[in-house]
Amino acid sequence: MERENIIKTPAGKFVNFIPSIAVAVTPSDTATFQEGLLYVGVTGDVTVMLADMSTFVTFKNVQAGSFLPVYVKAVHTDTTATDMLICY
């Protein structure tokens, strides 16, 4: 089945703007996962590695019930937000 919500980025990656799969995230200092949108269930700081980066960055005070507006491939253990899902 072809999905109309998948596009190709200038970097050549295929991106799904309407996620259809959500998986619980366990923060790790080393593990990565399939790139996607990160949903935050409980407010806190979120330290992530973005899709095209090799280092972590911190988003401060991400509110409960929100998505980060970037593609994420890892969540660091320094993260204080909880109940997160990676959606792709």
In the block, tokens 């996607």 appear at: 36
Per-residue pLDDT 10s for the chain (88 aa) are 444 566 666 677 776 667 889 999 999 999 999 999 999 999 999 999 999 999 999 999 999 999 998 999 999 999 999 999 999 8
> For the whole prediction, is pTM greater than 0.75?
yes
* DSSP-derived secondary structure letter, 65: T
Give the position of tokens 């407010």. 43
CA–CA distance, 16 with 62 (Å, rounded to integer):
22
Instruction: State residue 5 phi and psi, 5-degree precision.
Output: -90, 10
**How far, rounded to the nearest angstrom, does the alpha carbon of residue 53 sit from its chain's CA centroid?**
13
N- to C-terminal Cα distance for the chain? 16
